[in-house]
Structure 1
Amino acid sequence: MNPSYHRELIPREDVLRLIDEFSAMKETFASKTEQWQLLDRSGRVPAALSFTELFQHVTDAQELSRDVLKATTDFAARPHIANPAGRDTLAHLSTASFLSAHAVPHFAQTAHAVLTLRRLPDPTDQHYLKNEMVIDHATARNYLLRTSQSLRDAAQTLHEHLQLHRFFSAPALSDRPVPPPPGPKGHSR
């Protein structure tokens, strides 16, 4: 194998571990997007909203975001980010970090609105605030979904990089050792 190609490859074991890590994170974000619903089955804001439940979305989203930030920081510290696969993976992780961090304040705004909603005497003001809550919560969930997609893209980039391992693992014809010349011809008795 050409030494320059060897330097470009992220070690196979690392690639497999990172693919598993990013895929697991992707599944977690996709799962939370589905679990954290604001509207009831009829598509309306429930009459009795729980600040505690909605604020739990904030704290859980913060923890998930921290995990993505840590994964991005750890990956950025790797020596292989100088190759195309490393740069592309880092770009996807950076996007995931940005998106996950933006979900948190939208969840927080939704939880805060529950407290404000109880103090509003005017039904019209309540209606507008509920609409804002729906928009904020949907926006936060969309950020989680897009984070999941960015993590999927990071894992896919590494998976494609893994294909290079297969391509370069078989020695090229020019890299194979030349067989020794045949011995003198003769008959053995």
Structure 2
Amino acid sequence: MARRAPLEGIRVADFTWVWAGPFCTLQLAHLGAEVIRVETATRLCVTRLLPPYPDMQAGTNRSGYFNQYNQGKKSITLDLKRPEAVEVARRLCAASDVVAENFAAGVMDRAGLGYETLRQRRPDLIMVALSGYGATGPDSDKVSYGPAQVPLSGMSSVTGYRGFPPMHVGISYGDPTGGLHGAVAIL
């Protein structure tokens, strides 16, 4: 008898992009969840444009970076500026157990997809928001990426060599770390 994956039967509506968010939902996909990635054709995920590419031929569906963090996921493209597309997204969220997003605070609300709106159709909905600066506060409306979070966290100040200025930590320590914490929060 085949063993069931831990999250088999769980559906995730994935409104994430770049690295932290897709890394979060990738963990859920690896645990057996059905993850449905929602993208907009007017603003594709920037990682679609990053190498490596097979045979060094660039293309929006050829990025090894994008494909690594979105493997095992289904996807749908919606223009969330159109009311009928927002309604499709709301139906997807109502049929999902989890919604994940990593935009600046307020983006999902302005799109008509904020937690208070979505839980009207799905009261037991679990939603994780991986915004760089939190839901409230003076910088909450700002977009953020992992490399900006490392120095803000103070991590750079304890990295490097005695007698030299602080050093940045690798490519982007904050993104995968934030993604993993988001996945654990969902679990």
Could you tell me the TM-score, scaled by structure 1's length? 0.27
Report 1 or 2 for greater relative contact order, CA contacts < 8 Å, sequence distance ≥ 6.
Answer: 1
**Which of the two has higher C-alpha Rg?**
1
In terms of fraction of residues, the more helix-rich structure is 1
